[in-house]
Amino acid sequence: MKILRHRADFRSVVFVLFLFVAMALQWSAVFRHPLLYVLSHCFAFIALVINHNHQHVATFARRSWNRVFGLVLSLVTGQPASAIVPMHNLNHHVYNNRPQDFVRTSLVQFRWNFLNLLLFPFLAVAGYAKAKSEVMRSWKSSSPQLYRQLRWERAVFYPAILLLLTFRPLDTLLYLIAPYLTAQWGIIVINLVQHDGCDPDSEYNHCRNLVDRWTNWWLFNNGYHAAHHLHPGLHWSELPACHENIRGSIDPRLERRSLFLLLVELYAWPGRRPESSKGIS
């Protein structure tokens, strides 16, 4: 019996299970270590990347397994897993950094670019919150299957967190909620890093691409961002080949080999924001 739709997602499942176990061990005080705590923050971010992939292309072959996986993803990412669909699948992929996009980079206009990095997620979430409930209510008639999945995720996640807060409030804040917040801040920030200073009207040059294989191994090829936007229904394991096919159409300045050096350049030294969203067309 086929379990996974794509064999490459075995790594996705292993990573999510590792995070679940790491959080459980630390919360229960069975095992704690500074390195494990740091890894929890890192893997919470990776789990959000995995959830992003799961919402585009379901991980398991059977619908029932995908439902269960959505519940597990909710518990390790700090939000109902399906809740990203209105902000990401139905908004960002449709409007792609244009004025209607909830995560458009124009939300932040501070002269100090590091401040843009810090505050961008808060402004994006604040704008999205106004439309979120209305969009989700519409699923009741337009996408009943998705609506039922979201209800199940909410019914599991919120009572579970309240229960854990009741029994061990400080441990829940430190070992669960802190990694949740770090990861959720990071997953929205990466949108600013990949789209700021690019041309939203360009077919190929609307984002930056991280082409380092090591980075993409950990981030499940989400560095190949142009390929993902052009083919959002393509499984993440197929993105490198897709990127190679379109590489000749991408401005070389939008291919970066190091996420770390890119962050330093944009937000530390020289720390300047890209000149114009139409600067590369």
Per the domain annotation, does 218 fall within a domain?
no
What tens-digit pLDDT sequence spans the chain (281 residues)?
799 999 999 999 999 999 999 999 999 999 999 999 999 999 999 999 999 999 999 999 999 999 999 999 999 999 999 999 999 999 999 999 999 999 999 999 999 999 999 999 999 999 888 777 788 888 888 889 999 999 999 999 999 999 999 999 999 999 999 999 999 999 999 999 999 999 999 999 999 999 999 999 999 999 999 999 999 999 999 999 999 999 999 999 999 999 999 999 999 999 999 865 454 44
Per the domain annotation, does 100 fall within a domain?
yes
94 is in which domain, residue-wise? 7-202
**Pair 147, 139: CB distance under 8 Å:** yes
197 phi and psi angles, rounded to 5 deg: 85, 10
Per the domain annotation, does 169 fall within a domain?
yes
Per the domain annotation, does 221 fall within a domain?
no
Per the domain annotation, does 272 fall within a domain?
no
Per the domain annotation, does 250 fall within a domain?
no
**Pair 259, 190: CB distance under 8 Å:** no
SS3 per residue for the chain = CCCECCHHHHHHHHHHHHHHHHHHHHHCCCCCCHHHHHHHHHHHHHHHHHHHHHHHCCCECCHHHHHHHHHHHHHHHCCCHHHHHHHHHHHHHHHCCCCCCCCCHHHCCCCCHHHHHHHHHHHHHHHHHHHHHHHHHHHHHHCHHHHHHHHHHHHHHHHHHHHHHHHCHHHHHHHHHHHHHHHHHHHHHHHHHHHCCCCCCCCCCCCCEECCHHHHHHCCCCCCHHHHHHCCCCCHHHHHHHHHHHHHHCCHHHEECCHHHHHHHHHCCCCCCCCCCCCCC
Q: What is the pTM of this model?
A: 0.95
Per the domain annotation, does 238 fall within a domain?
no
Q: How many domains is the chain partitioned into structurally?
A: 1
Per the domain annotation, does 229 fall within a domain?
no
